[in-house]
């Protein structure tokens, strides 16, 4: 495949073609002859029951200057192929007399392709006229974001839009909301692209600094010892992979999570979501991480497990045993609650590479949806020691690291698409997600304040809607803070702010337990 430069032209001469929409005066209508097939995962996200949209809420440190924002977008996102392309059917000359559309569908080829188009930026910006003296701006922004999840993007133009809400809230002077169709790329790549569009506030010409990945420590010892350790690691890898793959296949058939108050019901993917968020201290998370000899992700998993236990206790006992301390209530010991965690199977381009792609027209970067996923069990139950939640989370996460589950799910989906078609693969993915309870992710952000299109970014709160889960949990680190973002179906979770508070309180209890132990 060949990607194009920011002006929409291939290295070489291009002939522009006019469509009927251009003749009617509609924007985004000048197409080029460049076409790129939709990847199997992209087509999966276009299926009705899996049509997912990413919503990224950005808090601005100052009122948004629309003209400055436009210039910033023209210099960044509008130079990215996906943000300047539509999905269109290939032209007749791309077919041969031997083409069998049914056979092509079974083999995984796509009837639609990515086709570059001229973009009129104003058609992607929504700037409502708001009263700066409104009674509750925080609730307005929350309701506005929730209303966005009731609708889908217009498929006749590039699948993204930006809403600018110039009204001050408790955390920010203004809010920008990106809505992007998931078919444009996986969540991690899109967030990385968004960060590649930012600059350090203190150094406007510098890209953000991202935390360095911890390098694995090499094992030392004699040849025999190293051989035995490698053999033991390999045997554990095979065993964990077999177990996880079997559980995945069983989940696609009939192996369901327990029916709890947070598990989605039929039709949950098509209903609107309420997106709420709160801010946590990254220093608190790091303190627990160091004390427990774990990872930051282990701490997030442990806090989520503890918070879900508190919340489910409250829901279970609601209206019963009033006056009983929630900490002394108990949950059944056999609750099965799992999260789907998506794993990018292609190394995510760094923000410097993405910057070069937009700034210097370097189009040799692989892009798109290419992922597998793992089913991550969460412990739900009462524990006297809050640190037990982190210990259990670490043990589960360590087991998942010794598994080829993500590689299998990616390969298995590809085989299903080629052998049985995209609809069969979509049905399988929907069944697996429906039989689990929630989605979970942890995103690493910049270590210092950054600005997006010349506006200081106070926070970044991404989420997703359109998948069959009633609860999605995202953790996003930024500077010395963590933004915890929940997307819930209010028919299932009517009190999302309470759930958010339970998760935040659980982290504080874990931190207090660490301090008490020292």
Predicted local distance difference test score (pLDDT) of residue 459: 95
Structure-block tokens of residue 172: 């920010």
pLDDT bin (cut points 50, 70, 90) of residue 207 is: confident
Q: Which value, in Å, is the radius of gyration of the alpha carbons in the chain?
A: 24
Q: Determine the 3-state secondary structure of 54 from DSSP.
A: strand
In what order do the strands lie in the sheet containing 85-88? 17-18, 30-37, 113-117, 85-88
Tell whether the model's pLDDT for residue 85 goes beyond 70. yes
d(CA 372, CA 23): 42
Q: What is the mean pLDDT of residues 159-163?
A: 95
- DSSP output for 374-393: EEEE---S--SSTHHHHHHH
In sequence order, which residues have a C-beta less than 8 Å from that of residue 74 and are 6 or more positions away? 121
Cross-strand bridge partners of residue 327: none
User: What share of the chain has pLDDT > 90, as a percent?
Assistant: 52
d(CA 252, CA 248): 6
Predicted local distance difference test score (pLDDT) of residue 357: 57
The helix (run of H) or strand (run of E) holding residue 282 is helix 282-292
Contact 511, 284 (CB under 8 A): yes
Tell whether the model's pLDDT for residue 450 goes beyond 60. yes
Neighbour-count burial for 4-28, b at 16+ CB within 10 Å, e otherwise: bbbebeeeeeeeeeebebbeeeebb
Of residues 165 and 447, more confidence is placed in 165
In sequence order, which residues have a C-beta less than 8 Å from that of residue 154 and are 6 or more positions away? none
d(CA 188, CA 193): 9
Q: List pLDDT tens digits, range 122-158.
A: 999 999 999 888 999 999 999 999 999 999 999 889 9
Q: What is the mean pLDDT of residues 93-97?
A: 39
Lowest mean pLDDT among 9-13, 40-44, 83-87, 436-440: 9-13
- Mean pLDDT rounded to a whole number for the chain: 82
Structure-block tokens of residue 51: 């049509």
pLDDT bin (cut points 50, 70, 90) of residue 352 is: low
Predicted local distance difference test score (pLDDT) of residue 284: 96
HSE (side-chain half, CA atoms, 13 Å) at 397? 19
Of residues 151 and 30, more confidence is placed in 151
What are the two backbone dihedrals, phi and then psi, of residue 94, each rounded to the nearest 5 degrees?
-80, -5
Q: What is the mean pLDDT of residues 283-306?
A: 96
Q: Which pairing describes strands 338-344 and 438-443: parallel, antiparallel, or unpaired?
A: parallel
d(CA 296, CA 294): 7
pLDDT bin (cut points 50, 70, 90) of residue 2 is: very low
Largest separation between any pair of C-alpha atoms in the chain: 76
Contact 82, 115 (CB under 8 A): no
User: What is the CB neighbour count within 10 angstroms for residue 294?
Assistant: 20
The helix (run of H) or strand (run of E) holding residue 239 is helix 223-253
Q: List pLDDT tens digits, range 226-275.
A: 778 888 888 999 999 999 999 999 999 999 999 999 999 889 999 999 99
Contact 31, 156 (CB under 8 A): no
d(CA 183, CA 167): 31
How far is residue 13 from each of residues 1, 6, 9, 32, 58, measured CA to CA in Å?
Answer: 17, 15, 8, 11, 39
Predicted local distance difference test score (pLDDT) of residue 295: 94
Q: Any idea which residues carry the catalytic annotation?
A: 182
Cross-strand bridge partners of residue 37: 113
Tell whether the model's pLDDT for residue 11 goes beyond 70. no
Q: Which domains does the chain have, with CATH numbers?
A: 223-346+363-442+471-517 (3.30.559)
Predicted local distance difference test score (pLDDT) of residue 329: 53
Long-range contacts of 350-354 (CB under 8 A, 24+ apart): 350/192, 350/210, 351/192, 351/195, 351/196, 351/207, 351/208, 351/210, 352/196, 352/207, 354/192, 354/193, 354/196
**In a 10 Å sphere around its CB, with 0-12 CB exposed, 13-18 middle and 19+ buried, how is residue 131 labelled?**
exposed
Tell whether the model's pLDDT for residue 44 goes beyond 90. no
What are the two backbone dihedrals, phi and then psi, of residue 466, each rounded to the nearest 5 degrees?
110, -10
Cross-strand bridge partners of residue 175: 59, 165
Contact 177, 148 (CB under 8 A): yes
Predicted local distance difference test score (pLDDT) of residue 503: 97
Q: What is the mean pLDDT of residues 96-114?
A: 48
Tell whether the model's pLDDT for residue 110 goes beyond 60. no
> How long a stretch of residues is the chain?
518
Tell whether the model's pLDDT for residue 208 goes beyond 90. no
Q: List pLDDT tens digits, range 363-390.
A: 555 666 677 889 999 999 988 899 999 9
Cross-strand bridge partners of residue 30: 18
Predicted local distance difference test score (pLDDT) of residue 102: 35
d(CA 368, CA 373): 16
Max mean pLDDT range (3-17, 419-433, 483-497): 483-497
Predicted local distance difference test score (pLDDT) of residue 93: 42
User: Taking CA 199 as the corner, what is the angle to CA 194 and CA 205, rounded to the nearest 5 degrees?
Assistant: 140
HSE (side-chain half, CA atoms, 13 Å) at 258? 14
**In a 10 Å sphere around its CB, with 0-12 CB exposed, 13-18 middle and 19+ buried, how is residue 279 labelled?**
middle
């Amino acid at each position: 495949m060949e990607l194009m430069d920011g002006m929409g032209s291939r290295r070489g001469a291009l002939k522009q073609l006019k469509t009927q929409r251009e003749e009617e005066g509609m924007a985004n209508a000048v197409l080029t002859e460049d076409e790129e097939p939709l990847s199997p995962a992209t087509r999966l996200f276009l299926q009705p029951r899996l049509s997912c949209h990413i919503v990224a809420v950005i808090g601005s440190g100052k009122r948004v200057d629309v003209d400055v924002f436009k210039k910033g977008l023209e210099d960044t996102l509008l130079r990215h192929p996906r943000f300047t392309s539509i999905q269109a059917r290939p032209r007749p000359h791309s077919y041969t007399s031997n083409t069998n559309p049914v056979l092509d569908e079974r083999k995984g080829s796509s009837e639609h392709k990515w086709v570059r188009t001229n973009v009129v930026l104003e058609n992607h910006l929504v700037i409502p006229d708001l009263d700066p003296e409104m009674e509750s701006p925080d609730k307005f922004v929350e309701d506005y974001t929730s209303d966005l999840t009731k609708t889908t993007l217009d498929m006749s133009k590039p699948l993204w839009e930006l809403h600018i809400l110039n009204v001050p809230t408790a955390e920010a002077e203004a809010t920008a909301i990106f809505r992007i169709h998931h078919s444009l790329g996986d969540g991690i790549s899109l967030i990385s692209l968004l960060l590649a569009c930012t600059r350090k506030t203190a150094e406007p010409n510098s890209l953000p600094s991202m935390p360095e990945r911890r390098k694995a420590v090499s094992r030392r010892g004699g040849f025999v010892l190293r051989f035995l350790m490698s053999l033991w690691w390999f045997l554990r890898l095979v065993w964990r992979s077999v177990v996880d793959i079997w559980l995945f296949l069983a989940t696609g058939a009939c192996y369901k999570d327990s029916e709890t108050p947070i598990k989605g019901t039929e039709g949950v993917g098509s209903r609107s979501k309420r997106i709420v968020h709160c801010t946590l201290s990254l220093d608190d998370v790091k303190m627990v991480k160091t004390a427990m000899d774990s990872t930051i992700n282990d701490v997030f998993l442990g806090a989520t497990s503890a918070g879900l236990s508190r919340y489910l206790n409250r829901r279970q006992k609601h209206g019963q045993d009033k006056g009983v301390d929630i900490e002394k209530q108990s949950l059944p010991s056999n609750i099965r609650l799992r999260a789907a965690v998506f794993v990018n199977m292609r190394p995510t381009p760094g923000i410097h590479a993405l910057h070069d792609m937009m700034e210097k027209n370097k189009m040799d970067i692989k892009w798109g949806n290419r992922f597998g996923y793992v089913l991550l069990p969460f412990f739900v139950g009462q524990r006297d020691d809050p640190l037990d939640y982190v210990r259990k989370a670490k043990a589960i996460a360590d087991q998942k690291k010794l598994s080829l589950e993500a590689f299998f799910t990616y390969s298995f989906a590809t085989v299903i698409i080629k052998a049985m078609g995209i609809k069969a693969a979509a049905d399988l993915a929907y069944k697996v997600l429906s039989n689990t309870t929630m989605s979970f992710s942890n995103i690493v952000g910049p270590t210092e304040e950054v600005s997006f299109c010349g506006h200081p970014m106070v926070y970044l709160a991404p989420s997703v809607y359109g998948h069959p889960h009633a609860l999605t949990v995202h953790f996003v680190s930024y500077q010395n803070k963590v933004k915890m973002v929940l997307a819930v179906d209010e028919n299932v979770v009517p009190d999302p702010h309470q759930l958010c508070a339970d998760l935040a309180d659980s982290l504080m209890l874990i931190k207090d337990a660490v301090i008490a132990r020292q």
